[in-house]
Structure 1
Amino acid sequence: MIIDNFIDQISQFLATIDVCNLLLVCSAWMQVLDVPHVWKYQLSQRDSSRLAFPSAVPMSHLTSSQLRVLLKCMRTLSAPEMSYNVIDQGVYQSSSDDFSQGLDKTLDNRKSTFWSSTGSENQNSSDLLVYRLINGLCIIKRISITPFRAFYQRGMRCYSPMEARVVIRISENDESSTTFSSPWCQITNRDEPFEFPLGEVTVFGEWLRVELRGRWSKQSSDNLYYVCLRNVSAFGVPIAVAPDNMVVQVLYDYISGKGFSSLSFLEFCRKTHYNMEKVTNMIDRGRERVKVIATCDRLIQESNVMLLIPEASQLRDTNEIRDHVVNALNEHGGTEDVMQYLAVMYHFLDVKFTEEESYFLATALIKVDEMIFFHDLVSKFRITFSERLGDIFLTSEKYYEAMVCYCGAVIPDKILSTCALLCSQPDNLTTLDVLIRACDDKPVVVAEMAAILQRKHHPYICCLFIMKAVEQLYIDLAAASDILGVRFASKQDLDELVNSQNLLFTSSATSSLETINFSISF
């Protein structure tokens, strides 16, 4: 008896595979370990290879053999390929600013689309988004939201909530059917995914509620607070894909017993198994993706770049695989391995470099000051533009290349700033004028551009810019006086300042610098 108790207690510190191995040692150990409470304990523990069974679901009525089946199912559902966005559709939004900014925009996985609340004078306003999960009932592994950053607005404000939490329910409007509720989490005002802590429990349900509280940012045009989300994701797996119906049966017994569903078991199975072909295809693609990534990782360890290219490019979601490869190469062998890989890709595949590949390529080209090759890639449409790509050129004072990237990524705020940095000669101010003409808040933009011109170029450039801004009626003389720090009684006073600075400019060494010619297409 003492030995039996000792073995029983030891089993609590063992992984499931070790418990299974002990069962094979002898029939006496099997008699001690192959009992319901041992398997229940194993089911309640979550590790890297297995999800824990939902703690809310009672298992006291299950036999050892049934518990072993559940354990096997939970291990299968934990596999990496058994995870994709299980949100089926958005069903409710507490508010929406515009038809084109509805709840469905959080599911299209595009950087330029988003859901927006209506504006409010109250910074502590609350919002609610409700989503239905695919195939009736899902096990959820992680949930994230991504706030939206308005690249098209001056200042590129991010419209994040101050706090957020997620709630999972079996029934949409029945609060008692809640299977999980996260704590309220502080959200920083940045356009980066925020993943909610799900803890060690296994979350399951049919409805996802995203509750938002507080708003960080005001929109300058109407001085109202808004919250905007670019993406909402819930990664998991429908219970119907479990290799045995035992999971479905146990969860159905729990749900129907609580009164959360009036469906018969047959109707419940039909609901959870709806459109299984689509689900199966997604899982098959996930398995293939895991297999390809494993092969790529092996080839990286072997430094076999020639075989790596076709392997990384064979799937439909090839960009994701290629981004993984280029980051793995950088960790394995540094810049040299990455550049060898990109060189082979350039010569053997007529494809556009991904955002990650474009960034690594630009980093290497900046180090050797090889901008001609970069311009050639741009002309052949083989570069994927991004703000991050423009920033690395800007930091390296490659202003023309930064401008090209910001234009390609359509980031007006940084297009203007970079244009001002390029205006070392009077002729270049024409392009800056064209850009400002398209802005709504012209006085603010003129003041910001003047600050850059004053900091980076000869005083004549800034004075000439201000004179043109006054002539175009972007600002008045009072604003010009404030910007330049000189009192102008009339337009003639401003003209005289410009003429005097022109004399200094033409006689200075800066006049011998080669003019930078550039153009922008809109």
Structure 2
Amino acid sequence: MDAGMDFLNFLETDMSMKILTSLEDAADLARISSVSHTWRQFVVENSFWKRLCLRRFPQLVKVARIVEVNNYEVNEPSVGSSKSKEWETLEREHRAYAKLGGRCTSFAVEDCISEAISASSTDNFPEESILHTLEPKDVVGRRASYWSSKGQSDPSVPETLTYSLVSDFCIITEISVKPFKAYFQPGSPIYSARYVRFRVGHPKINLSLEIDSLDESSHDDKFIWTYTSQKFRMTQENILQKFKLPEPILCIGGILQIELLGRVQKQEMDGLFYICVMEHVSGFS
């Protein structure tokens, strides 16, 4: 091939598609898009940025459409021919997924849990509220800082803790949970769960919950879950236990739920099973 010739002009479309679809590095795709107007048009027309993002984060398949917001104004397709509107839609998707793909290549590792939303049950509210799971210290105001479920005679009854994240867009790689050791009870029992599982998603509508609702229910009917992890074994130890997800998970919508499955510890006083979690409930992105 002569120097300076464009190989896209010499290959069948299917072969060009196969070559560019095989790219896994977002930086390579960005460089391809900037080679020439023809190459950029080929990338846009065939939604290569969208394909790359869908391979990395399959939950994006549920995205129905892309809407751009600039300076609090929503930009919808303009009036025109069907061909021009189709190209405008492709351009919008290209910009959105290119930005998403670029952000996903590198991200800061930091705690991404912002606020507690609700617990499926609470034994003594507000003394044992879910709010205490976000405290940075074991003891606050001379009192142990932890959340406690209500007691159950059936050890299989699960519990959930639901949180909002620092942003509607987070990439979660691991979540840490510390079971509570009741040093003030005989034998200092540890009220861990048997297993833990994680879900991420978004509210069905704008979520506005008062603090008083933290003691009521998990509000599961208010959320749509886009990802559910495998079950992880939790050990009955009073240590910060880190649960690393098999791959980074994209959470669009800013909601994380921790499912605590199975109870292992009875309380001597009433013979019921409890689950208790201390501080340092955290998710990292």
Q: 1:220: which partner in 2? A: 268
Identical amino acids, percent of aligned pairs = 23
Deviation of the 1:79 alpha carbon? 4.1
Q: 2:283: which partner in 1? A: 234
1:1-400 correspondence runs (5 A) = 2-14=11-23, 15-26=25-36, 28-46=38-56, 54-58=60-64, 62-64=89-91, 66-76=93-103, 79-81=106-108, 83-97=110-124, 99-112=126-139, 113-134=145-166, 137-142=168-173, 143-153=175-185, 155-168=187-200, 169-171=202-204, 172-174=219-221, 177-190=224-237, 191-195=239-243, 197=245, 199=247, 201-231=249-279, 232-236=281-285
Deviation of the 1:206 alpha carbon? 4.1
CA distance in 2, matches of 1:10, 1:205: 34
TM-score normalised over the length of structure 1: 0.39
Unaligned runs of 5+ in 2: 1-9, 67-85, 140-144, 205-218
Contact kept in structure 1, 2:26 and 2:105, CA below 8 Å:
no
Q: CA distance change for structure 1 residues 29 and 67 in 2, over 3 Å: closer, same or farther?
A: closer
Deviation of the 1:69 alpha carbon? 4.0
For residues 331-368 of structure 1, what are the alpha-carbon distances to aligned partners after superposition, in whole Å with 9 as ceiling and x for unaligned?
xxxxxxxxxxxxxxxxxxxxxxxxxxxxxxxxxxxxxx
Contact kept in structure 1, 2:53 and 2:100, CA below 8 Å:
no
For residues 186-241 of structure 1, what are the alpha-carbon distances to aligned partners after superposition, in whole Å with 9 as ceiling and x for unaligned?
322223324263745522224433332221112334443221111422345xxxxx
For residues 384-409 of structure 1, what are the alpha-carbon distances to aligned partners after superposition, in whole Å with 9 as ceiling and x for unaligned?
xxxxxxxxxxxxxxxxxxxxxxxxxx
CA distance in 2, matches of 1:30, 1:90: 44
Higher relative contact order (CA 8 A, sep 6+): 2
Contact kept in structure 2, 1:52 and 1:201, CA below 8 Å:
no
The structure whose residues are more often strand, as a share, is: 2
- Give the secondary-structure state (helix, strand or coil) at the position aligned to 2:47: helix
- Give the secondary-structure state (helix, strand or coil) at the position aligned to 2:17: helix
Contact kept in structure 2, 1:40 and 1:67, CA below 8 Å:
yes
For residues 62-86 of structure 1, what are the alpha-carbon distances to aligned partners after superposition, in whole Å with 9 as ceiling and x for unaligned?
3235423432244336643374333
Q: CA distance change for structure 1 residues 16 and 132 in 2, over 3 Å: closer, same or farther?
A: closer
Deviation of the 1:33 alpha carbon? 3.2
For residues 398-441 of structure 1, what are the alpha-carbon distances to aligned partners after superposition, in whole Å with 9 as ceiling and x for unaligned?
xxxxxxxxxxxxxxxxxxxxxxxxxxxxxxxxxxxxxxxxxxxx
Q: CA distance change for structure 1 residues 31 and 54 in 2, over 3 Å: closer, same or farther?
A: closer
Size of the alignment, in residue pairs?
231
- Give the secondary-structure state (helix, strand or coil) at the position aligned to 2:278: strand
CA distance in 2, matches of 1:157, 1:196: 26
CA distance in 2, matches of 1:52, 1:75: 17
CA distance in 2, matches of 1:162, 1:82: 28
In structure 2, what residue type is equivalent to 1:100? E
Q: CA distance change for structure 1 residues 140 and 146 in 2, over 3 Å: closer, same or farther?
A: farther
TM-score normalised over the length of structure 2: 0.65
The structure whose residues are more often helix, as a share, is: 1
Q: CA distance change for structure 1 residues 35 and 227 in 2, over 3 Å: closer, same or farther?
A: same
CA distance in 1, matches of 2:180, 2:262: 15
Contact kept in structure 1, 2:165 and 2:255, CA below 8 Å:
yes
- Give the secondary-structure state (helix, strand or coil) at the position aligned to 2:61: coil
Deviation of the 1:39 alpha carbon? 1.9
Larger Rg: 1
Contact kept in structure 2, 1:162 and 1:216, CA below 8 Å:
yes
For residues 440-480 of structure 1, what are the alpha-carbon distances to aligned partners after superposition, in whole Å with 9 as ceiling and x for unaligned?
xxxxxxxxxxxxxxxxxxxxxxxxxxxxxxxxxxxxxxxxx
Deviation of the 1:87 alpha carbon? 2.6
Deviation of the 1:88 alpha carbon? 1.8
Q: CA distance change for structure 1 residues 11 and 185 in 2, over 3 Å: closer, same or farther?
A: same
Deviation of the 1:95 alpha carbon? 2.5
Q: 1:460: which partner in 2? A: none
In structure 1, what residue type is equivalent to 2:192? S
Q: Which runs of 4+ in 1 moved over 6 A?
A: none
CA distance in 1, matches of 2:30, 2:125: 58
